[in-house]
Amino acid sequence: MSKSYDVIVIGAGPAGYVAAIRCAQLGLNTVCIDNWLNEEGKSSLGGTCLNVGCIPSKALLESSEHYDQLLNQYVNHGIHAENISIDISVMQKRKQKVVDELTSGISALFKANKIKKISGHGRLLANKQVEIISSNKGKTTTISAEHIILAPGSRPVKIAAAPQDDEKIVDSTGALAFQSVPKRLGIIGAGAIGLEVGSIWRRLGAEVVILEAQDHFLSIADEQISRMALKQYKSQGLDIRLGACVTATKTHSQTVTITYRDTEGESTLKVDKLVVAVGRRPNSENIYASESGLLVNEGGFIHVNERCETNLPGVYAIGDVVRGPMLAHKGSEEGVAVAQTIAGLHGQVNYDIIPSVIYTQPEVAWVGRTEQALRSSEEKIKIGTFPFAANGRARAMGSANGLVKIITNAETDRILGVHILGPNASELIAEATLAIEFSASAEDLVDTIHAHPTLSEAMHEAALAVDNRALHQINKAIKQE
Ligand code: FAD
Ligand code: NAD
């Protein structure tokens, strides 16, 4: 007889580990199987996000930002430093320490919540059975549960024109592990990874060229914000070439030659390292046996309904392996919702209100709908914007680039979208997310007292600007369509 649990979770990324914790909190006997092994061959919980994604990238963004500040900004404060140097190995060790502390934190949470942790590869069989091949000895066992949550995450997309050799042509994991600053860095893809990784190495001194296939920069964001962000990035020295389609690469002993085509024809570019950052694909291939009957969509996403239920009763799928944005917090929310559903409670994710952030400097953050999407759906809207240049705190920080843009329904005043380019946009967007979650109007933000002097006053002013009554900028005629 195979051992039986209330819940089996496969995958301990932010989707799976959060689902496991919530299940355990709700009194369900839970096991979580994860196959991630760190460089030392040890199990390391937290998936892509903690091990090679969100966390290490933010650790390096932080370090590189300090260096950039010291090199270029502190002089404006009257602070002079001489003989500035960087030690990438220390930077990388610090990054790894942050990762190790957080991943072992998940182990501690599992222990405290009495979640059984199995290091191994899990595979869904028929009749809610799961086969496990253990990581260390390769031993195969089978367990079963009333409920199974599949959370195997995703992996980088590879492209034939730039085959990775894990040395000169790498993916995001390789790009976050460089042990020295490449003199010339090429990046394919100007998405979140391309921009964050490009920012890290640019700040540390690399010449960075980003080749983006689309003609439009950052097309998922609000067009006005994308345009402004592109200008900022270019001024920082990020050479972003749009409409550039890589057709071939050739590796030499120390360099890579990239051939790409754009409106001006074919060009070549020589770099020391090349990062392929053209999106991620779901890890669904080895997660189920065909006799399980699990339905997988084209593109490899596990088919689910809005409650993350697969076509098999009692089997759920969450995180990057299902539709929706590939974001850690989206997966975690799905994990909580599924755990609650299993326990007979209310569980739901509001997919219209998922904040997005790009952790460049200035940061880009948004929630809700973009101006272009609202205009194409012919919704009557009003827009209020407020520049950080007119915000006292941003000025004092020396970070006054960008703006807050609030879009509301012209008749009801309900906030439909908030878009920010600016300092700490990643934190400011939380207020906007809460406002939209509570169906707030711009007037609700206007009526909310914001501390002075804070960046959040830009949000308050943008809400005032919706009705042409911002206090710290000259108001233009009300824009109403
Ligand atoms: P994952 O985190 O991929 O975890 C899945 C886990 O399941 C892994 O441990 C995997 O080894 C394991 N697994 C897979 N198959 C099996 C199996 N058959 N058996 C056992 N275990 C299995 N998102 C943000 O929201 N903010 C950010 O700032 C951000 N930055 C990022 C930066 C980078 C460089 C990258 C690459 C990604 C970033 N992301 C960010 C995206 C984020 O990492 C993912 O959206 C998130 O990790 C998805 O969570 P998940 O739990 O679905 O999958
Ligand atoms: P992405 O989808 O964000 O961007 C990929 C970019 O590559 C797109 O602009 C696309 O047009 C371009 N592209 C695709 N094929 C190309 C080609 N052949 N040549 C040139 N350009 C090409 O993907 P990503 O940046 O790889 O990130 C992967 C996932 O990880 C995303 O879903 C993202 O949400 C997530 N992520 C999030 C954050 C964050 O939240 N801050 C940070 C990093 C990663």
CATH number (domain holding residue 394): 3.30.390.30
Q: Residues 117, 258: one domain?
A: no
Q: Is residue 201 part of a domain?
A: yes
Q: Is residue 162 part of a domain?
A: no
Q: Residues 149, 190: one domain?
A: no
Residue 83 CB partners (closer than 8 Å, separation 6+): none
Residue 52 CB partners (closer than 8 Å, separation 6+): 172, 173, 176
CA distances from 55 to 173, 199, 328 (A): 12, 15, 11
Q: Name the closest ligand to CA 276.
A: 2
Q: How many angstroms separate the alpha carbon of residue 261 from the centre of ligand 1?
A: 32
Pocket of ligand 2, candidates 154, 238, 276, 326: which has the most ligand atoms within 8 Å of its Cβ, to mutate? 326
Q: Residues 129, 77: one domain?
A: yes
Q: Residues 38, 147: one domain?
A: yes
Domain count along the chain: 3
Q: Atom 17 in ligand 2: which residue has the minimum CA distance?
A: 213
Q: Residues 139, 194: one domain?
A: no
Nearest ligand 1 atom to alpha carbon 45: 9
Domain extent at residue 246: 169-278
What whole-number distance in Å separates Cα of residue 362 and Cα of residue 196? 11
Nearest ligand 2 atom to alpha carbon 195: 25
Q: Is residue 161 part of a domain?
A: no
User: Could you confirm whether 252 is annotated as catalytic?
Assistant: no
Asked whether the whole model's pTM tops 0.95, one would answer yes
Closest listed residue to residue 288, CA positions, set 331, 327, 321, 260: 321
Q: Is residue 39 part of a domain?
A: yes
Q: How many angstroms separate the alpha carbon of residue 143 from the centre of ligand 1?
A: 24
Helix (H, G, I), strand (E, B) or coil at 391: coil
Give, as one character, the DSSP assignment of residue 314.
Answer: T
Q: Is residue 429 part of a domain?
A: yes
Q: Is residue 382 part of a domain?
A: yes
What whole-number distance in Å separates Cα of residue 470 and Cα of residue 447? 13
Nearest ligand 2 atom to alpha carbon 194: 25
Q: Residues 74, 109: one domain?
A: yes
Q: Residues 334, 423: one domain?
A: no
| Residue that finishes a domain, picked among 294, 323, 351 | 351
Q: Residues 341, 475: one domain?
A: no
Q: Is residue 163 part of a domain?
A: no
What are the tokens at 312?
Answer: 């098999």
Is ligand 2 within 6 A of the CB of residue 190? Answer: yes
CATH code: domain of residue 26: 3.50.50.60
Pocket of ligand 1, candidates 54, 99, 323: which has the most ligand atoms within 8 Å of its Cβ, to mutate? 54
Q: Residues 335, 453: one domain?
A: no
Q: Residues 332, 375: one domain?
A: no
| Residue that finishes a domain, picked among 278, 309, 332 | 278
First to last CA, the chain: 67
Q: What is the pLDDT of residue 2?
A: 76
Q: Residues 142, 245: one domain?
A: no
| Residue that finishes a domain, picked among 320, 351, 382 | 351
Per the listing, tokens 């995703």 go with: 154
What whole-number distance in Å separates Cα of residue 422 and Cα of residue 402? 5
Per-residue pLDDT of the chain (481 residues; tens, 9 = 90+): 578 999 999 999 999 999 999 999 999 999 999 999 999 999 999 999 999 999 999 999 999 999 999 999 999 999 999 999 999 999 999 999 999 999 999 999 999 999 999 999 999 999 999 999 999 889 999 999 999 999 999 999 999 999 999 899 999 999 999 999 999 999 999 999 999 999 999 999 999 999 999 999 999 999 999 999 999 999 999 999 999 999 999 999 999 999 999 999 999 999 999 999 999 999 999 999 999 999 999 999 999 999 999 999 999 999 999 999 999 999 999 999 999 999 999 999 999 999 999 999 999 999 999 999 999 999 999 999 999 999 999 999 999 999 999 999 999 999 999 999 999 999 999 999 999 999 999 999 999 999 999 999 999 999 999 999 999 999 876 555 5
Ligand 1 contacts (CB < 6 A) are: 10-16, 33-36, 47-49, 53-54, 57, 121-122, 151-154, 172, 193, 283, 286-287, 319-320, 326-329, 331
Size (the chain), residues? 481
Q: Atom 14 in ligand 1: which residue has the minimum CA distance?
A: 152
Q: Residues 347, 424: one domain?
A: no
Is ligand 2 within 6 A of the CB of residue 188? Answer: yes
**10 Å Cβ neighbour count for 472?**
15
Q: Atom 32 in ligand 2: which residue has the minimum CA distance?
A: 326
Closest listed residue to residue 168, CA positions, set 147, 186, 154: 186
Q: Is residue 426 part of a domain?
A: yes
What are the tokens at 400?
Answer: 């006054």
Active-site residue, from 252, 346, 452, 460: 452
Q: How many angstroms separate the alpha carbon of residue 173 from the centre of ligand 2?
A: 14
